Amino acid sequence: MSIQVKNLTHIYSEGMPYQTIALEDNSFEIADGSFVGIIGHTGSGKSTLIQHLNGLLKPNSGTILVDGLDITDASVSLRDIRQRIGLVFQYPEYQLFEETVEKDVAFGPQNLGLPEDLIGERVREALHLVGLSYEDVGQRSPFDLSGGEKRRVAIAGVIAMRPKVLILDEPTAGLDPKAHKDILNLIERVHREENNTIILVSHNMGDIAALSEKVLVMHKGRMVMEGTPGEVFKKAELLLGMGLELPPAAGFMELLKQRGINLENMPLTIEEAVEEITVWTGNN
Protein backbone atom coordinates (compact mmCIF):
# COMPACT_ATOMS: atom_id res chain seq x y z
CA MET A 1 0.00 0.00 0.00
CA SER A 2 1.90 3.01 -1.19
CA ILE A 3 1.20 6.54 -0.11
CA GLN A 4 1.66 9.59 -2.26
CA VAL A 5 1.36 13.03 -0.76
CA LYS A 6 1.17 16.06 -3.05
CA ASN A 7 1.35 19.68 -1.96
CA LEU A 8 -0.14 19.07 1.43
CA THR A 9 -0.95 22.26 3.27
CA HIS A 10 -2.75 22.67 6.55
CA ILE A 11 -3.54 25.92 8.30
CA TYR A 12 -4.96 26.06 11.80
CA SER A 13 -7.61 28.69 12.51
CA GLU A 14 -7.51 29.97 8.99
CA GLY A 15 -8.68 33.53 8.72
CA MET A 16 -8.30 34.30 12.39
CA PRO A 17 -5.66 36.73 13.60
CA TYR A 18 -3.73 33.92 15.25
CA GLN A 19 -3.72 31.43 12.38
CA THR A 20 -0.75 29.08 12.16
CA ILE A 21 0.57 27.30 9.11
CA ALA A 22 1.17 23.81 10.38
CA LEU A 23 2.06 22.21 7.07
CA GLU A 24 3.23 23.95 3.97
CA ASP A 25 3.28 22.39 0.54
CA ASN A 26 4.60 18.95 1.40
CA SER A 27 5.11 16.27 -1.23
CA PHE A 28 6.62 12.86 -0.75
CA GLU A 29 6.08 9.17 -1.32
CA ILE A 30 6.09 6.17 0.91
CA ALA A 31 6.67 2.86 -0.80
CA ASP A 32 4.64 -0.23 -0.04
CA GLY A 33 6.14 -2.39 2.68
CA SER A 34 8.79 0.08 3.67
CA PHE A 35 9.87 1.26 7.09
CA VAL A 36 9.94 5.04 7.16
CA GLY A 37 11.09 7.28 9.96
CA ILE A 38 9.89 10.84 10.41
CA ILE A 39 11.90 13.22 12.54
CA GLY A 40 11.59 16.89 13.34
CA HIS A 41 11.66 19.28 16.27
CA THR A 42 8.57 19.79 18.37
CA GLY A 43 6.13 21.87 16.41
CA SER A 44 7.60 20.94 13.06
CA GLY A 45 4.31 19.45 11.95
CA LYS A 46 5.01 15.73 12.39
CA SER A 47 1.86 15.03 14.36
CA THR A 48 -0.26 17.12 12.03
CA LEU A 49 1.18 15.28 9.07
CA ILE A 50 0.46 11.79 10.31
CA GLN A 51 -3.06 12.74 11.30
CA HIS A 52 -3.67 13.61 7.69
CA LEU A 53 -2.49 10.21 6.60
CA ASN A 54 -5.33 8.41 8.31
CA GLY A 55 -7.97 10.97 7.58
CA LEU A 56 -8.29 12.52 11.03
CA LEU A 57 -7.43 15.88 9.57
CA LYS A 58 -8.32 17.26 6.20
CA PRO A 59 -5.85 19.50 4.43
CA ASN A 60 -6.57 23.01 3.28
CA SER A 61 -5.03 22.06 -0.04
CA GLY A 62 -3.18 19.14 -1.55
CA THR A 63 -3.97 15.48 -2.06
CA ILE A 64 -3.11 12.24 -0.40
CA LEU A 65 -3.27 9.08 -2.46
CA VAL A 66 -3.34 5.80 -0.61
CA ASP A 67 -2.98 2.97 -3.10
CA GLY A 68 -4.38 5.28 -5.72
CA LEU A 69 -7.38 6.32 -3.63
CA ASP A 70 -7.53 10.03 -2.81
CA ILE A 71 -8.45 10.11 0.84
CA THR A 72 -8.88 13.87 0.87
CA ASP A 73 -11.94 13.39 -1.26
CA ALA A 74 -15.01 13.93 0.85
CA SER A 75 -16.78 10.93 -0.58
CA VAL A 76 -14.30 8.41 0.76
CA SER A 77 -15.65 6.68 3.84
CA LEU A 78 -13.60 7.10 6.96
CA ARG A 79 -14.09 3.46 7.78
CA ASP A 80 -12.27 2.47 4.60
CA ILE A 81 -9.37 4.70 5.50
CA ARG A 82 -9.13 3.49 9.08
CA GLN A 83 -9.15 -0.10 7.90
CA ARG A 84 -6.08 0.51 5.82
CA ILE A 85 -4.15 2.90 7.95
CA GLY A 86 -3.71 2.45 11.65
CA LEU A 87 -2.41 5.18 13.91
CA VAL A 88 -0.99 4.68 17.37
CA PHE A 89 -0.79 7.97 19.23
CA GLN A 90 1.70 9.03 21.84
CA TYR A 91 0.98 7.51 25.24
CA PRO A 92 -1.65 5.26 23.69
CA GLU A 93 -2.42 3.67 27.06
CA TYR A 94 -4.55 6.72 27.79
CA GLN A 95 -7.10 5.47 25.29
CA LEU A 96 -7.87 2.32 27.26
CA PHE A 97 -11.35 2.25 28.66
CA GLU A 98 -12.97 -1.16 28.55
CA GLU A 99 -13.63 -3.53 31.41
CA THR A 100 -11.28 -6.22 30.14
CA VAL A 101 -8.21 -6.31 27.93
CA GLU A 102 -10.03 -8.53 25.48
CA LYS A 103 -12.90 -6.08 25.10
CA ASP A 104 -10.57 -3.15 24.65
CA VAL A 105 -8.51 -4.82 21.94
CA ALA A 106 -11.75 -5.92 20.29
CA PHE A 107 -12.97 -2.32 20.10
CA GLY A 108 -11.20 -1.57 16.82
CA PRO A 109 -12.28 -4.74 14.97
CA GLN A 110 -15.81 -4.27 16.25
CA ASN A 111 -15.93 -0.78 14.80
CA LEU A 112 -14.89 -2.27 11.48
CA GLY A 113 -17.94 -4.50 11.60
CA LEU A 114 -16.08 -7.77 11.61
CA PRO A 115 -17.95 -10.95 12.59
CA GLU A 116 -17.69 -12.20 16.19
CA ASP A 117 -15.49 -15.20 15.61
CA LEU A 118 -13.06 -13.27 13.45
CA ILE A 119 -12.81 -10.63 16.17
CA GLY A 120 -11.85 -13.26 18.71
CA GLU A 121 -9.11 -14.46 16.40
CA ARG A 122 -7.80 -10.97 15.77
CA VAL A 123 -7.66 -10.23 19.48
CA ARG A 124 -5.59 -13.29 20.20
CA GLU A 125 -3.24 -12.68 17.28
CA ALA A 126 -2.75 -9.05 18.19
CA LEU A 127 -2.01 -9.83 21.82
CA HIS A 128 0.43 -12.49 20.71
CA LEU A 129 2.20 -10.08 18.36
CA VAL A 130 2.75 -7.60 21.16
CA GLY A 131 4.13 -10.27 23.39
CA LEU A 132 1.19 -10.74 25.74
CA SER A 133 -0.63 -13.95 26.48
CA TYR A 134 -4.35 -13.96 25.95
CA GLU A 135 -4.78 -16.47 28.74
CA ASP A 136 -2.90 -14.26 31.19
CA VAL A 137 -4.31 -10.83 30.48
CA GLY A 138 -7.43 -11.32 28.37
CA GLN A 139 -9.94 -11.10 31.18
CA ARG A 140 -8.10 -8.65 33.40
CA SER A 141 -8.89 -4.98 33.60
CA PRO A 142 -6.47 -3.01 31.44
CA PHE A 143 -5.95 -0.61 34.32
CA ASP A 144 -4.51 -3.34 36.50
CA LEU A 145 -1.55 -3.84 34.18
CA SER A 146 1.87 -2.26 34.34
CA GLY A 147 2.70 0.79 32.24
CA GLY A 148 4.57 -1.19 29.62
CA GLU A 149 1.84 -3.82 29.41
CA LYS A 150 -0.84 -1.16 29.08
CA ARG A 151 0.99 0.35 26.19
CA ARG A 152 1.26 -3.01 24.49
CA VAL A 153 -2.46 -3.60 24.94
CA ALA A 154 -3.13 -0.21 23.37
CA ILE A 155 -0.91 -1.03 20.42
CA ALA A 156 -2.56 -4.43 20.10
CA GLY A 157 -5.86 -2.60 19.84
CA VAL A 158 -4.68 -0.97 16.63
CA ILE A 159 -2.85 -4.02 15.25
CA ALA A 160 -6.01 -6.06 15.66
CA MET A 161 -7.45 -4.02 12.82
CA ARG A 162 -4.62 -5.36 10.60
CA PRO A 163 -3.85 -2.11 8.89
CA LYS A 164 -1.63 -2.21 5.82
CA VAL A 165 0.08 0.90 7.07
CA LEU A 166 0.90 1.31 10.74
CA ILE A 167 1.87 4.73 11.98
CA LEU A 168 3.40 5.05 15.43
CA ASP A 169 3.92 8.39 17.12
CA GLU A 170 6.70 8.22 19.72
CA PRO A 171 5.86 4.67 20.77
CA THR A 172 8.69 4.55 23.27
CA ALA A 173 7.96 7.84 25.03
CA GLY A 174 8.30 7.64 28.79
CA LEU A 175 9.47 4.03 28.92
CA ASP A 176 12.43 2.62 30.79
CA PRO A 177 15.25 1.14 28.68
CA LYS A 178 14.02 -2.44 28.81
CA ALA A 179 10.44 -1.55 27.92
CA HIS A 180 11.83 0.70 25.21
CA LYS A 181 13.71 -2.18 23.66
CA ASP A 182 10.68 -4.45 23.97
CA ILE A 183 8.51 -2.05 22.04
CA LEU A 184 11.10 -1.68 19.29
CA ASN A 185 11.37 -5.42 18.97
CA LEU A 186 7.61 -5.57 18.86
CA ILE A 187 7.52 -3.09 16.00
CA GLU A 188 10.14 -4.99 14.09
CA ARG A 189 8.25 -8.23 14.58
CA VAL A 190 5.00 -6.69 13.39
CA HIS A 191 6.73 -5.33 10.31
CA ARG A 192 8.20 -8.74 9.56
CA GLU A 193 5.16 -10.88 10.23
CA GLU A 194 2.48 -8.63 8.84
CA ASN A 195 4.54 -7.40 5.89
CA ASN A 196 3.04 -3.98 6.25
CA THR A 197 4.35 -0.44 5.92
CA ILE A 198 5.57 1.16 9.10
CA ILE A 199 5.87 4.88 9.69
CA LEU A 200 7.74 5.71 12.86
CA VAL A 201 7.70 9.22 14.29
CA SER A 202 10.31 9.59 16.96
CA HIS A 203 12.74 11.88 18.72
CA ASN A 204 15.01 8.95 19.33
CA MET A 205 17.52 9.16 16.52
CA GLY A 206 19.12 5.88 17.45
CA ASP A 207 15.87 4.04 16.86
CA ILE A 208 15.25 5.83 13.59
CA ALA A 209 18.75 5.16 12.35
CA ALA A 210 18.60 1.50 13.25
CA LEU A 211 15.19 0.64 11.85
CA SER A 212 14.28 2.96 8.99
CA GLU A 213 14.90 2.39 5.33
CA LYS A 214 14.05 5.99 4.62
CA VAL A 215 14.03 9.10 6.79
CA LEU A 216 11.88 12.19 6.29
CA VAL A 217 12.90 15.35 8.11
CA MET A 218 10.27 17.95 9.02
CA HIS A 219 11.14 21.52 9.86
CA LYS A 220 8.63 24.29 10.47
CA GLY A 221 5.89 22.61 8.54
CA ARG A 222 7.96 21.66 5.55
CA MET A 223 9.73 18.48 4.59
CA VAL A 224 13.32 19.62 4.21
CA MET A 225 15.19 16.35 3.83
CA GLU A 226 14.52 12.95 2.46
CA GLY A 227 16.81 9.97 2.13
CA THR A 228 18.27 6.88 3.67
CA PRO A 229 19.42 7.18 7.27
CA GLY A 230 23.01 7.13 6.04
CA GLU A 231 22.36 10.08 3.76
CA VAL A 232 20.35 12.09 6.24
CA PHE A 233 22.49 11.67 9.30
CA LYS A 234 25.62 12.62 7.40
CA LYS A 235 24.35 16.19 7.20
CA ALA A 236 25.24 16.88 10.78
CA GLU A 237 25.34 20.68 10.78
CA LEU A 238 22.01 20.94 9.02
CA LEU A 239 20.35 18.65 11.50
CA LEU A 240 21.91 20.32 14.49
CA GLY A 241 20.91 23.68 13.08
CA MET A 242 17.30 22.52 13.08
CA GLY A 243 17.49 21.61 16.70
CA LEU A 244 17.75 17.89 16.06
CA GLU A 245 20.20 15.51 17.56
CA LEU A 246 22.23 12.88 15.81
CA PRO A 247 21.97 9.20 16.57
CA PRO A 248 24.57 8.22 19.15
CA ALA A 249 26.72 6.45 16.59
CA ALA A 250 26.56 9.29 14.08
CA GLY A 251 27.14 11.81 16.84
CA PHE A 252 30.28 10.02 17.81
CA MET A 253 31.38 9.99 14.17
CA GLU A 254 30.94 13.75 14.09
CA LEU A 255 33.24 14.12 17.05
CA LEU A 256 35.84 11.93 15.35
CA LYS A 257 35.49 13.95 12.15
CA GLN A 258 36.16 17.13 14.07
CA ARG A 259 39.43 15.63 15.17
CA GLY A 260 40.31 14.72 11.63
CA ILE A 261 39.37 11.07 11.71
CA ASN A 262 37.15 10.24 8.76
CA LEU A 263 35.56 6.87 8.50
CA GLU A 264 34.42 5.35 5.25
CA ASN A 265 30.86 4.43 5.97
CA MET A 266 28.33 6.17 8.12
CA PRO A 267 27.47 3.75 10.90
CA LEU A 268 23.89 3.81 12.01
CA THR A 269 24.10 1.70 15.09
CA ILE A 270 26.60 1.27 17.87
CA GLU A 271 27.55 -2.13 16.50
CA GLU A 272 28.29 -0.70 13.08
CA ALA A 273 30.33 2.05 14.68
CA VAL A 274 32.41 -0.49 16.53
CA GLU A 275 33.02 -2.31 13.28
CA GLU A 276 34.00 0.85 11.43
CA ILE A 277 36.39 1.92 14.15
CA THR A 278 37.93 -1.54 14.25
CA VAL A 279 38.50 -1.38 10.51
CA TRP A 280 39.99 2.09 10.78
CA THR A 281 42.34 1.22 13.60
CA GLY A 282 43.32 -1.84 11.60
CA ASN A 283 44.30 0.34 8.68
CA ASN A 284 46.06 2.99 10.73
Partner 1 sequence: MIRDITLGQYYPGESKIHVLDPRVKIICTFAYIITLFLVRDFVGFAIAVGFLGLIIILAKVPLKFIFKGLKPIFFIIIFTFTVNMFMTKGEPLAEIGFLTITREGLYNAFFMGLRLILLIIGSSLLTLTTKPINLTDGIERLLSPFRKIGVPAHELAMMMTIALRFIPALLEETDKIMKAQMARGADFETGNLLRRAKSLIPLLVPLFISAFRIAQDLAMAMEARCYRGGDARTRMNAMRFHTRDALASLCMICFIALIVLQAYYL
Partner 2 sequence: MKSKYLVHGAVIAAVYAALTLLLMPISYGVMQIRVAEALTILPALTPAAIPGLFAGCLLANTLGPYGIFDIVLGSAATLAAALVSYKLRSKPLLVPLPPVLANGLVIGPMLYYVYSVPLPLWACILWIAAGEAAACYGIGLPLLRYLSKRKSVFR
List residues near partner 1 by CB under 8 A: 12-13, 16, 51, 54, 56, 78-79, 82-83, 86-89, 92, 94-97, 107-108, 110-112, 143, 157-158, 161
Task: Go through 21-40 and write b for each residue having 16 or more CB atoms within 10 A of its CB, e for each that does not.
Answer: bbbbebebebeebbbbbbbb
Task: Please list the residues that pair with 225 across neighbouring strands.
Answer: 217
* SS3 letters across 34-63: CEEEEEECCCCCHHHHHHHHCCCCCCCEEE
Task: Go through 216-240 and write b for each residue having 16 or more CB atoms within 10 A of its CB, e for each that does not.
Answer: bbbbebebbbeeebeebbbebeebe
CB of 55 to partner 2, least distance (A): 21
The entry of partner 2, partner 1, none near residue 238 (CB within 5 to 8 angstroms by kind) is none
CB of 91 to partner 1, least distance (A): 8
Contacts of residue 108, defined as CB under 8 A and 6 or more positions apart, other chains included, come to 157, 158, 160, 161
In angstroms, the CA 185 to CA 162 distance is: 18
- Strand 61-66 and strand 69-70: the pairing is antiparallel
Task: Please list the residues that pair with 219 across neighbouring strands.
Answer: 222
Contact mark string toward partner 2, 99..118, x via CB under 8 A: x-------------------
141 binds partner 2 (CB under 8 A): yes
Out of 67, 69, 97, 139, the residue judged to bind partner 2 by CB under 8 A: 97
> Which CB atom, from 202 or from 244, has the smaller least distance to partner 1?
202
> Which CB atom, from 6 or from 103, has the smaller least distance to partner 2?
103
CB of 50 to partner 1, least distance (A): 10
> Which CB atom, from 62 or from 142, has the smaller least distance to partner 2?
142
- Using a 10 angstrom Cβ sphere, with 0-12 exposed, 13-18 middle and 19 or more buried, the burial of residue 283 is exposed
> Which CB atom, from 104 or from 182, has the smaller least distance to partner 1?
104
132 close to 152: Cβ distance less than 8 angstroms: yes
Helix segments in 101-175, DSSP class H? 101-111, 116-129, 134-137, 147-159
> Which CB atom, from 63 or from 110, has the smaller least distance to partner 1?
110
> Which CB atom, from 100 or from 269, has the smaller least distance to partner 2?
100
> Which CB atom, from 57 or from 210, has the smaller least distance to partner 1?
57
The entry of partner 1, partner 2, none near residue 141 (CB within 5 to 8 angstroms by kind) is partner 2
The entry of partner 1, partner 2, none near residue 112 (CB within 5 to 8 angstroms by kind) is partner 1
143 binds partner 2 (CB under 8 A): yes
The residue ranges that bind partner 2 (CB under 8 A) are 97, 99, 141, 143
